[in-house]
């Protein structure tokens, strides 16, 4: 059996769910455009450049979750899936996931689990390793539980998950990780088969240097 790990944003998705969630709330006038839009774009650029301060970003991204009821957030998320997420799911991505239906598959993403759990379900992927927002009595506090699933944190979180099910990275005939981002080098470096998917320029250069497979999953028409 193989261990197959997928990054989510700009890897399985043809776009970024974290960025689009904030844009969705701005477009619905739930978040103030003047206050949030430029910051959202700045954080996204920092992520692409590999310079994102994850603590500062999570404060920005999780605070709105604490300001509304879970019921209201769930209702908005259903609409978000329809108008933002479904158009980012390509048949090529669905087909890629299906190739590994007999293996242990997980999504490993820095995006928080409130946003990403329904997306993982859409792909039929049970196991999700994501940044976990804190909840008290079912409502979000705006804080994070545990280590964010970001950069080296992805490696730690994957190891913790595997240990919890009495496995390790050495338990499999092959370990694979698909990602688009230079931020994911720590996890790409520890699997046997790293695959760069529509990689950002820094990751593309690194993948070519290392001789990694480069997959163009989302070809622009």
Confidence of residue 50 (pLDDT cuts 50, 70, 90): confident
Angle at 152 (CA atoms; ends 149, 156), nearest 5 degrees: 70
Rounded Cα distance between 110 and 58, Å, is: 10
Taking 60 as the threshold, does the pLDDT of residue 183 lie above it?
Answer: yes
SS3 128: strand
Cα-flanking dihedrals φ and ψ of residue 109, to 5°?
Answer: -140, 145
Domain boundaries, the chain: 2-215
Is pLDDT above 60 for 131?
yes
**Nearest 5°: phi and psi at 99?**
-60, -25
- For domain 2-215, give the CATH number: 3.40.50.1000
List pLDDT tens digits, range 82-97.
999 999 999 999 999 9
Please state, in angstroms and as integers, the Cα–Cα distance from residue 90 to each residue in 56, 87, 99, 123, 145, following that order: 31, 7, 15, 11, 32
Q: What per-residue confidence (pLDDT) applies to 189?
A: 98
Asked if 160 and 132 touch (Cβ cutoff 8 Å), the reply is no
Instruction: Decide: helix, strand or coil at residue 130.
Output: strand
Whether residue 221 has pLDDT greater than 70: no
Provide the CA 14 distance to its chain's centre, in angstroms. 12
- Tell me the catalytic residues: 7, 9
CA atoms within 13 A on the CB side of 82: 5
42-56, 85-99, 118-132, range with the lowest pLDDT = 42-56
- The mean pLDDT of the chain is 95
Q: Is residue 8's pLDDT more than 50?
A: yes
Model confidence pLDDT, tens digit, residues 15-46: 999 999 999 999 999 999 988 888 889 998 99
How confident is the model at residue 220, as a pLDDT?
A: 60
pLDDT at residue 180 tops 90: yes
pLDDT at 11 over 50: yes
Share of residues in the chain with pLDDT > 70 (%): 99
């Amino acid at each position: 059996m193989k261990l197959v790990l997928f990054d989510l944003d700009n890897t399985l998705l043809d776009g970024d769910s974290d960025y689009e969630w904030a844009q969705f709330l701005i477009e619905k006038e739930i978040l103030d455009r003047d206050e949030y839009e430029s910051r959202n774009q700045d954080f996204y650029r920092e992520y692409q450049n590999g310079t994102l301060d994850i603590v500062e970003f999570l404060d920005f991204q999780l605070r709105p979750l604490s300001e509304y009821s879970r019921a209201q957030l769930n209702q908005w998320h259903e609409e978000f899936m329809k108008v933002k997420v479904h158009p980012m799911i390509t048949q090529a991505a669905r087909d890629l996931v299906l190739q590994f239906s007999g293996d242990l598959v997980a999504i490993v993403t820095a995006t928080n689990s409130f946003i990403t759990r329904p997306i993982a379900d859409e792909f039929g992927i049970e196991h999700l390793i994501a940044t976990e927002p804190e909840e008290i009595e079912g409502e979000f506090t705006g804080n994070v539980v545990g280590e964010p699933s970001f950069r080296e944190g992805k490696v730690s979180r994957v190891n913790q998950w595997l240990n919890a099910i009495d496995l390790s990275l050495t338990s499999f005939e092959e370990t694979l990780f698909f990602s688009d981002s230079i931020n994911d080098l720590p996890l790409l470096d520890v699997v046997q088969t790293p695959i760069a998917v529509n990689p950002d320029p820094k990751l593309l250069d690194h993948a070519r240097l290392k001789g990694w497979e480069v997959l163009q999953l989302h070809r622009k028409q």
